[in-house]
């Protein structure tokens, strides 16, 4: 009798497991088999250490600091990012991305220079609409302007 109860309990567990496996399979099939949005693949986290063919494409001196706009090959594409040399306590590095050609930032990443002297990188594009610039700011909410940033690239 005790043996029968254990078998019935296991049978219920097996049925539940089977049901859940079927549900997971059904759910997986319901997801469309399309590529992830381009935005999801556009950023690379640590380009200074994970990319090759690194180069500085723009730079500007700002009050004893050097703000650089960098580029390099990361995986199968070219990316741009910001780097700050000679930073001071309290400095932040901001990297702005223009996606539509109006030379206003559509996307931005800000890093505290003391912890990361470079920003994540964003994938370049054949269109002249896409452009990047980098700047040094003293508040994480401040933006790039003509006196603290590289030219757009």
- pLDDT tier, 24 (very low <50, low <70, confident <90, very high otherwise): very low
Spatial separation of the C-alpha atoms in residues 136 and 143, rounded to whole Å? 9
Spatial separation of the C-alpha atoms in residues 151 and 99, rounded to whole Å? 16
- pLDDT tier, 76 (very low <50, low <70, confident <90, very high otherwise): confident
pTM of the model: 0.73
Spatial separation of the C-alpha atoms in residues 80 and 47, rounded to whole Å? 9
CB atoms within 10 A of CB 26: 9
- What average pLDDT score do residues 73-94 get? 96
Q: How many CA atoms lie within 13 A of 66 on its CB side?
A: 8
What tens digit of pLDDT does each residue of 93-143 get?
999 999 999 999 999 999 999 998 999 999 999 999 999 999 999 999 999
């Amino acid at each position: 009798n005790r043996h029968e109860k254990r078998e019935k309990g296991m049978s219920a567990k097996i049925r539940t497991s089977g049901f859940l496996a079927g549900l997971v399979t059904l759910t997986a099939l319901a997801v469309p088999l399309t590529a992830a949005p381009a935005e999801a693949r556009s950023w690379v986290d640590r380009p200074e250490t994970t990319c090759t063919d690194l180069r500085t494409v723009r730079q500007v001196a700002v009050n004893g600091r050097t703000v650089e706009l960098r580029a390099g090959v990361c995986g199968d594409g070219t990316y741009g990012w910001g780097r700050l040399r000679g930073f001071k306590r309290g400095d932040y590095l901001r990297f702005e991305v223009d996606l539509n050609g109006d030379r206003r930032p559509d996307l931005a990443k800000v890093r505290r220079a003391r912890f990361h002297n470079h920003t994540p990188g964003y994938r370049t594009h054949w269109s002249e609409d896409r452009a990047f610039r980098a700047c040094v700011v003293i508040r994480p909410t401040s933006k790039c302007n003509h006196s603290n940033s590289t030219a757009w690239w």
